[in-house]
Amino acid sequence: MRQVGKTKVLLVGSGAREHAIADALIAGGAEVYAYMQLLNPGIKKIAKKYDVGKAGDVASAVKFACENSAEIAVIGPETPLAAGIVDELKKAGVECVGPEKLHAQLETSKSFTRNLVKKYGIEGGIKFRIFTKGNATEAKQFIKELCSAGGCVVKPDGLTGGKGVKLTGEHLRNEDEVFAYCKDVLEAHPSVVIEERLEGEEFSLQTLTDGNGGFLHFPVVQDHKRAFENDCGPNTGGMGSYSDSNFLLPFLEAEDVEKAKTITEAVAAAIKKELGAPYRGVMYGGFMKTKAGIKLLEYNARFGDPETMNIMPLLRTSFLEICKATVEKRLAKLKVEFERKATVCKYVVPEGYPDNPVTGRIVVPEGGKSLVYYANVEERNDGIHTTKSRAVGFVGMADAINDAEKIAEEAASKVQGRVFHRKDIGTEKLLQKRIYHMKKVMEAGK
């Protein structure tokens, strides 16, 4: 029998991010109804009820929510947000932790966000230009200017699963390759954003806002996009991440994080002015500390994957209460507390990921100190099988990063099957590399 007063929550998504969110919701007393794109074995085990359908099938997700009398919806991935799932759920009387389609432009359109920051004079902006097929030839001169000044970054104007961004010196060797990639992008996207390349260290600040002046800033996290150890190989959706017990990172000062918070709150205010309605949901900012201060790289309109696995286990406050406060526009009045712990997340992925992943059966260890979050796997009669994306996230929690790393590593290394993971994430060696790099960058700016 359902507990009296237990809040029914629709959770959309089927990855490790959503597994972590489901855990946090249930720990807070929610009853979770999961609309998944794949049958995630971790979510399946803890959800009250579930349905499987396409990520962009808004009608099916709304139907499932209504059939189960969902009161609140938490939207995990970007695809349903881009398809307008929040708009339709609200019409059906379901309040959402996530922005409406118009506001989801914050992620779905990089040009919208760049132009917004520029128009409202918000700190953290960088040199950029937007090109379409109509003025693509003009990009050559801008590329030349940026490359002569330190390099450039090419971003498709749309969703690319975190894998469409390419940089000179890493993915593109010269101006001709940059221009060729821009032309390729314009075959699939309406426009391309070309930006100056920055030098520094990246970090993620995930923020919830209720659209009524309330902001909840989660502890900062650093993700690792490159597939292989020592930051080599192609970009991925993220191979792992870490956070520190002081809610900073080894290369950040408190004022750096405060600056990022200020930028996010200014962007939220600008969106309200620009679109005539407040933004409500997650504003996940990608930032970089540079010699010229904190710079904004981009925003996502949902929680990060893997960063969500770092922050959800740290919550002392019920995540359900946080969601309620968000949709009821009283987030500013809610006192939210986090565990003073460090976390390290390591993703186990299929061999060949991301370019040529192999699929097959894997065996995931039971027990141990690590938290386990299933990602893009399929549960079949003979066990768990990998798909062509990330498989399982392991999170260690401890007083110090190096202790958390050991917990995550011990679990990740025991997965059986044709898989690999980055053993260096959260290690002292890699942390020292980040610290040394930041030190060199700041010295060069003097």
The closest alpha carbon to 30, from 87, 89, 97, belongs to: 97
Contacts 24+ apart (CB under 8 A), 382-385: 384/41, 385/359, 385/360, 385/361
Average pLDDT, the chain: 95
- With a CB cutoff of 8 Å and minimum separation 6, the contacts of 378 are 38, 39, 384, 385, 387
pTM attached to this predicted model? 0.95
User: Could you tell me if 73 and 9 are in contact, meaning their C-beta atoms sit under 8 angstroms apart?
Assistant: yes
- DSSP one-letter code for 198: P
Given a cut of 60, is residue 1 above it in pLDDT? no
Strands 192-196 and 152-156: antiparallel
Structure tokens at 165: 């961004």
Q: Catalogue all structural domains in the chain, each as residue range(s) with its CATH number.
A: 8-98 (3.40.50.20), 127-196 (3.30.1490.20), 200-432 (3.30.470.20)
Q: What share of the chain is helix, strand, coil (3-state, %, to 5)?
A: 35, 25, 40
Angle at which helix 254-275 crosses helix 110-119, to 10 degrees, equals 100
The closest alpha carbon to 73, from 280, 214, 309, 277, belongs to: 280
d(CA 74, CA 69): 14
d(CA 41, CA 393): 13
In this predicted model, what pLDDT tens digit does every residue of 320-370 receive, in sequence order? 999 999 999 999 999 999 999 999 999 999 999 999 999 999 999 988 999
Sheet arrangement for strand 383-386: 361-362, 383-386, 377-380
Given a cut of 80, is residue 5 above it in pLDDT? no
Least confident of 95-99, 184-188, 393-397, 398-402: 184-188
Given a cut of 70, is residue 163 above it in pLDDT? no
Mean pLDDT of the region 48-76? 97
Given a cut of 80, is residue 282 above it in pLDDT? yes
Residue-level pLDDT at 161: 64
- Output the CA angle 380-384-388, nearest 5 degrees: 100
The closest alpha carbon to 165, from 115, 97, 203, 110, belongs to: 110
Given a cut of 70, is residue 84 above it in pLDDT? yes
Q: Could you give the 3-state DSSP secondary structure of residue 294?
A: strand
H helices within 189-318, ranges in order?
Answer: 254-275, 307-311
In this predicted model, what pLDDT tens digit does every residue of 238-256 receive, in sequence order? 999 999 999 999 999 999 9
In this predicted model, what pLDDT tens digit does every residue of 365-404 receive, in sequence order? 988 999 999 999 988 889 999 999 999 999 999 999 999 9
Residue-level pLDDT at 4: 54
